[in-house]
Structure 1
Amino acid sequence: MHPILDRDRFQNCEDLIDMLEECHKSPFLETAMGKCSDIKIQLSQCLHENRLANDREQILKRREKNKILEENKRKRLEEEWGENEYLKKVVELELKSKLQQQQQPQQQLSDSKN
């Protein structure tokens, strides 16, 4: 059974929806014997293709959005740290040298105690 079919959302399948609704109005015995089965199969296929098309569209939108976000992030980092994050590398080198300078006196103290 299909969920409630929104005609705006499934415009491609509108004819099949109408045909299936019309078929379901026929006598019970005819519908029970499979009178509407072919239409239902066609509608299922149409809805499936429609869902896949919507999924593809959403994926493309997400990719475009992610591309814009990544570009904004790159620009922000470039504004903060300069081109190719030059300033970040300078800060990291200074931090590394300060840490080494702090470790040297500690090593000298431990060496003098031994």
Structure 2
Amino acid sequence: MHSHLHTSYNANCEEIMTALDECHAKGFLHKALGNCNDIKVDVNKCLSAERYQRAKRNRDEARSNRRRIEEIWAKERELDQGPAVPPAAAANVAAAANTGAAKQ
């Protein structure tokens, strides 16, 4: 079973879907004898490819949006906490503070 065929999501499959509709219109016996099976397989392949492309676009868009949101969050954290200090620089600052305390 498949979803509704003639939608804007499936515009690239319109020609083959129309051929399937025409095959089905030839009557029950024509369908029952399997005369539309090859066209049906082609429709399923086309719909599957369309769904895959749509899912890929959605995934890529979601990743892009997530990157953008995380950049905004990082800027907000920086404003709240001050500039972020890389771990190596923080270790150098701590070591310098310990050395200064030892000299006194």
Shared fold (TM-score, shorter chain, > 0.5): yes
Contact 2:78/2:84 (CA < 8 Å) preserved in 1? yes
1:85 deviation in Å? 5.9
Report the AA paired with residue 81 of structure 1. Answer: Q
- 1:56 maps onto 2:65 in alignment: no
**Structure 1, unaligned runs of 5 or more:** 90-114
Distance 1:15 1:34 in 2: 20
Select between 22-31 and 43-52 the one with higher mean Cα deviation.
Answer: 22-31
* Partner SS for 2:8: coil
Contact 2:20/2:39 (CA < 8 Å) preserved in 1? yes
Distance 1:52 1:84 in 2: 40
Distance 2:33 2:78 in 1: 69
Question: Could you tell me the percent identity over the aligned residues?
Answer: 31
Task: Give the TM-score normalised by the residue count of structure 1.
Answer: 0.71
Counterpart of 1:72 in structure 2 is 72
Counterpart of 1:17 in structure 2 is 17
Counterpart of 1:94 in structure 2 is none
* Partner SS for 1:83: coil
Distance 2:60 2:27 in 1: 46
* Partner SS for 1:84: coil
Counterpart of 1:45 in structure 2 is 45
Moved over 6 A (4+): none
Counterpart of 1:83 in structure 2 is 83
Task: Give the TM-score normalised by the residue count of structure 2.
Answer: 0.77
Report the AA paired with residue 47 of structure 1. Answer: L
Counterpart of 1:27 in structure 2 is 27
Distance 1:13 1:82 in 2: 54
How many residues align? The count is 87
Distance 1:7 1:73 in 2: 38
Select between 13-22 and 77-86 the one with higher mean Cα deviation.
Answer: 77-86
Select between 53-62 and 24-33 the one with higher mean Cα deviation.
Answer: 24-33
